[in-house]
Amino acid sequence: MTAPIQDSHPIRLRNSATGELAAFIPRDWRAEPAIPAADRRVGVYLCGPTVYDRAHIGNARPAVVFDVLRRLLALTYPGQVRFVRNFTDVEDKINDRAAERFPDLAPLDAIARVTEETIAWYHEDMAALGVAIPDDEPRATAYVPEMVAMIETLVARGHAYEAEGHVLFDVGSFPGYGALSGRDTEDMIAGARVEVAPYKKHPMDFVLWKPSTETQPGWPSPWGRGRPGWHIECSAMAKALLGTDFDIHGGGSDLLFPHHENERAQSCCADPDHGFAEVWMHNGMIRVDGRKMSKSLGNFFTVHDKRAEMSGDVIRYILLNAHYRDELDWTEDRVEQARAALNRLNRLADRYRRAGMVAPDPLVPHASVLERLRDDLDTHGALAALHALASEAINPAETDIETLRPAVETARWLGFALETAADGDGDDARIDAACARLDAARADRNYAEADRIRAALDAAGLIVQTTKAGTTAERGAGFDRTRLEDLT
């Protein structure tokens, strides 16, 4: 077997802005004059959730996909990656939810109550899916002064105008509008649902600032008390944390237009000598049994819902088991494939721990997996390579340690906790004793007792194997240590 190594192959990424697949070399590595190595940074901005309710499974896909990208970049540029994922914590859906739940609180206090709770839910869900906390998690409400300043610049440069208490971006002032999404402005007017307000100069002009009533959250501004539009939030936060130019901007494909198109337009107009994000990456949407996920179709579910049915590792596996740019169809077949793969990986992790092996720090993935990820973040191909490593290691049960190591350590590098492999309060001894009792019952031809013990092992999520050498049980993806009491 090839040893897990890092090679010199470059990362290649498809840029949504150009449609081209090209080698990714960060800006600081190409800078002239050269930036000292210690000062170089890779800047990544990911559009995060609007926090008014539990994250649905579609919200989880970009978090998981770009978590893998971050791991890949951190391996390639150790200590030099700055990964930012924001929270949109002021928006009309949040305002409505806050007014409904906390009608007696001041508007800003009410939205803070809703968003604090929702952010805590989001952190819990993402942690269960193996998503690491970003380097920065800016909240829009903390960057309103930066938004106001950017809007003032846009007005001063002739790219925005005030009308009836609103400030709008003048799409006609930016010739490059539509280049990111590949759309023609006139076609967009004909095909898109846009708010045609009488105060707009152009139907595609979008809101940068809007007035707030006394019952809505608001901040002082040169245009009166109001609140920011959605698009200006990300532009201001990205600039504040990553600068006027940075390497990668990511999000779901549903954000390509209008959100990212508008972000790019206003950012480039506010700082015309800069280009904002250089590489744009967009993950595909999730369908359920071939249909768009929708509450009206009854196929809408949250991460919290699915965590009640399966481990976070299984959810993570499903979300990565398609190329990140492709749509992902959530089906029962895909769920069972993920469970089977995680059963194998957890069994290997169980052997790894029982052999007294300790994971190195930092972990390094196997070259076969790294090769697939470097080719436009091919997570599906990476899982196929991981599957090959696991298949080689799973049989026989007495696996050679150096065959075992690549599969387990690569899976953990990919973000799979394999936490079911941890021993707790003598669980190993309890499992081994149950297997010994099962063998004794079979030897005594007490098949009813043997079946009872085996059923208890199965119910605890253990993978049971009986050979001439006796019975063994290894932790699978559905291991539940609370069920071990049933083994007595």
Q: Helix H segments across 194-311? A: 230-242, 261-270, 303-307
The whole-angstrom separation of Cα 83 and Cα 89 is 19
Cβ neighbors of 117 (< 8 A, separation 6 or more) are: none
Positive or negative, the Cα torsion across 210, 216, 217, 223? positive
124 labelled ligand-binding: no
The whole-angstrom separation of Cα 287 and Cα 290 is 6
Q: Helix H segments across 321-359? A: 332-354
Return the residue matching tokens 């840029």.
15
The whole-angstrom separation of Cα 136 and Cα 85 is 6
- Strands, sheet with 166-169, edge to edge from the N-terminal-most edge strand: 160-163, 166-169, 206-211, 226-228
DSSP conformation class of 50: B
201 labelled ligand-binding: no
Return the residue matching tokens 């595909």.
284
Cβ neighbors of 368 (< 8 A, separation 6 or more) are: 2, 385, 388, 389
295 labelled ligand-binding: yes
47 labelled ligand-binding: yes
Q: Find, among 87, 109, 85, 88, the residue nearest to 98 by Cα.
A: 109
The whole-angstrom separation of Cα 451 and Cα 396 is 25
The whole-angstrom separation of Cα 144 and Cα 237 is 9
Q: Find, among 307, 355, 354, the residue nearest to 126 by Cα.
A: 307
Which residues are paired to 276 by β-bridges? 245
Give ∠ CA 361-413-481 in degrees, rounded to 5. Answer: 95
DSSP conformation class of 143: G
Q: What share of the chain is helix, strand, coil (3-state, %, to 5)?
A: 45, 15, 35
What is the maximum span of the chain, computed from C-alpha positions, in angstroms?
90
Residue type, 22: A
Give the alpha-carbon dihedral of 446, 448, 449, 451, to 10 degrees: 120
Give ∠ CA 485-417-356 in degrees, rounded to 5. Answer: 75
Q: What are phi and psi of 295, to 5 degrees?
A: -60, -35
Classified as helix, coil or strand, 208 is strand
263 labelled ligand-binding: yes
The whole-angstrom separation of Cα 133 and Cα 372 is 24
The annotated binding site for ATP is made up of 295
The annotated binding site is made up of 47, 234, 259, 263, 295
The annotated binding site for Zn(2+) is made up of 47, 234, 259, 263
